[in-house]
Structure 1
Amino acid sequence: MIRTVDLNADLGESYGPWRMGRDDELLELVTSANIACGFHAGDPDVMAETVRLASARGVAIGAHPALPDRQGFGRRNMAISPSEAHNLVLYQLGALEGFVRANGARLAHVKPHGALYNQAAGDRSLADAVAAAVRAFDPGLILVGLAGSCLIDAGLAAGLRVAREGFADRRYEVDGSLTPRSRSDAVMHDPAEAVAQVVNMVVKNTVITRDGAPIPITVDTICLHGDTAEAVLFAQRLRAELKTRGIVPEALGGRSRAAWTV
Structure 2
Amino acid sequence: MLQVDLNCDMGEDFGVYKASVDSELMKYITSANIACGFHAGDASSIRRTVKLALASGVAVGAHPGLPDLGGFGRREMLITPEEAYEMTVYQLGAIQAFAKSEGGSVTHVKPHGALYNMAAKNRKLADAIAEAVYRVEPALLLFGLAGSELIHAGNAIGLHTINEVFADRTYELDGTLTPRGQSGAVILDPALAAEQTIGLVRDGKVRTRQNGCLILQAETVCIHGDTPGALEHAIALRDAIEAAGIKVKRAG
1:128 matched to which residue of 2?
127
Give the drift of 1:20.
2.2
Counterpart residue number, 1:118: 117
Amino acid at match of 1:43: D
RMSD value, Cα:
0.7
Asked whether the equivalents of residues 121 and 149 of structure 2 are also in contact (C-alpha less than 8 Å), the reply is yes
The amino acid that maps onto 2:33 is N
CA distance in structure 1 between the aligned counterparts of 2:19 and 2:117, rounded to whole angstroms: 22
Alignment of 1:100-249 (within 5 A): 100-249=99-248
Q: Which amino acid aligns with 1:87?
A: E
Deviations 1:171-206 (A, max 9, x none): 000111000011121101011110110011001100
Query: May I ask how many residue pairs the two structures share in their alignment?
Result: 252
Question: TM-score, normalised on structure 2?
Answer: 0.99
Q: Which residue of 2 aligns with 1:28?
A: 27
The structural deviation recorded for 1:58 is 0.5
Q: 1:200 aligns to what SS in structure 2?
A: helix
Q: CA deviation at 1:21?
A: 2.2
Q: Deviations over 1:114-154 (max 9, x none)?
A: 00000000000000000000000000000000001000000
The question of whether the paired residues in 2 share the 8 Å contact of 1:3 and 1:248 is answered with yes
Deviations 1:94-114 (A, max 9, x none): 111110001111100000000
1:8 aligned onto 2:7: yes
- Distance in 1 between the 2:174 and 2:19 partners? 32
Q: Cα deviations across residues 38-86 of structure 1 (Å, max 9, x unaligned)?
A: 0000000000000000000000000000010000000000110000100
Alignment-mate amino acid for residue 7 of structure 1: L
Unmatched runs of 5 consecutive residues or more in structure 1:
254-262
Deviation of 1:240 (Å): 1.1
Deviation by residue 1:4-37 (Cα, 9 ceiling, x = unmatched)? 1000000000011211221011101000000000
Other-structure match for 1:64: 63
Tell me by how many angstroms 1:215 deviates. 1.4
Measure, in 2, the Cα distance between the counterparts of 1:6 and 1:145.
13
**Unaligned runs of at least 5 residues, structure 2:** none
Please tell me whether the aligned partners of residues 21 and 228 of structure 1 are also in contact (alpha carbons under 8 angstroms).
Answer: no
TM-score, structure 1 normalization: 0.95
Structure 2 Cα separation of the partners of residues 124 and 19 of structure 1 = 35
Distance in structure 1 (CA, Å) of the matches to 2:232 and 2:9: 15
Which one-letter code corresponds to 2:165 in the other structure?
A: G
> Aligned partners of 1:103 and 1:22: how far apart in 2?
21
Matches within 5 A, 1:79-118: 79-118=78-117
